[in-house]
Amino acid sequence: MTIGPLAGIRVVEAGRFASAPSCGTVLADWGAEVIKLEPPGGDPARGPGSLEGGQGLNPRFDVHNRSRRSVVLDLATKDGHRHGTQLVGSADVFVTNLRPAALTRLGIDEPTLRTAFPRLVYAQVTGYGLGAAENIRSYDHGAFWAYSGMAALFGDSEGAPPQPAGGMGDRASGTALAGAVAAALFARERTGRGDHVTVSLLRTAIWLMASDAADALHRPDRPRELSRAAAPIPTVNCFRCLDGRWIWLQSMLPELDWDVLLEALDAHWLDDDPRFRGGQQCRVQQARSALVEALDEIFRRRTAEEWVGRLRAAGLTVAAVRTLAEAVSDPVVLASGAIRDARHGETMYPTVNSPCSFGDGLADARPAPAPGADTDEVLAELSLDEPVLTTPVLDGGPAGPVTA
């Protein structure tokens, strides 16, 4: 028996790459039955550039496509469209990140499907939002990072954008969409009607930068300080320790933490300096460069582990800066539930968990299916004859993604 708050909910996902599929993964973790509707040739994310991991798994594709069944249909054909429409009609939720023009061309656009199936929750990811730019193709490097201002916000001192980690905007948008789907399903229980819920990579990025974006609305000329020495609150900063490792001190209200901080640092002499006395925020902000320089010298006297122990023992907020490889095997990370086990045949393998947990637990995780692996089975369940296509071909399909 499937567990999770969405047990009994069927989701059909026509997604490519990561944004819509990541929504499908979250919904599957929450207990929904997810069916991945793929074009001939399968999701292009299965293709070149994929990294094969242990047990023959593709770790990146698997994390966005685990725990569902795969049906391959050519929606551009008469039979493929008929079967695809009937499949959506059996579902509670349809999730997609195809461009609106492609959805219309394939006859699976929101007005068409929701007219036919009024209880359907139609969940859609776009790059730039619905409107004038809705059909501009975008992966998260574009709408999420570049166009939103995020790449510039995190650029270096010369303004060069960073090389972002893959799929961050996709997964943030997909997770937001999963929450919207759950809210729409809850509303349907009261109204009997489905809804059209949308997110965009662009809007998600602006929301994630809301503190800085709110400032920019009122002070567009306000520069963002990039150097540690110019941090607005010098005690919210990273410091390099004796062993070369970094820690991140998070004393948001230095005037409240000041005495405790100086005791933990064995640096009461800092209070003798009138520029820092009492840790008053207006003072330390004005003298932030000098204070960071003084703290740099202090933190170089002990290892990162020693400093984290001393500062936490004093009740101060601090975190060690970990590499990603260290983080995914760290006991605290593992205890948080960020990594989960999935079953592959008779063995288990680790995968990345979605961010939400429930007291009754999450549904079991299974590897991503092969393209079309479940076409015959799913169509038979719907009492549909003549399965259209079960053998994938080397063609990415006619629609193309709007997002990664």
Mode of pairing for the β-strands spanning 246-250 and 236-240: antiparallel
Contacts of residue 90, defined as CB under 8 A and 6 or more positions apart, other chains included, come to 10, 12, 382
What digits encode the pLDDT tens for the residues 236-294? Answer: 999 999 999 999 999 999 999 999 999 999 999 999 999 999 998 888 889 999 999 99
pLDDT for position 385:
58
pLDDT at 344: 81
Report the predicted TM-score, pTM, of the whole model to 2 decimal places.
0.89
Instruction: List, in order, residues 6 or more apart from 71 with CB less than 8 Å away.
Output: 35, 36, 37, 38, 87, 372, 374, 375, 378, 379
Low-confidence ranges of the chain (pLDDT < 70): 1, 48-56, 226, 385-404
Q: Which residues pair with 12 in a beta bridge?
A: 35, 94
The whole-chain average pLDDT of the chain stands at 89
The pLDDT assigned to 55 comes to: 56
Class level of CATH domain 10-210+340-381: alpha beta
Name residue 295's amino acid.
L
Domain residue ranges of the chain, discontinuous segments joined by +? 10-210+340-381, 246-320
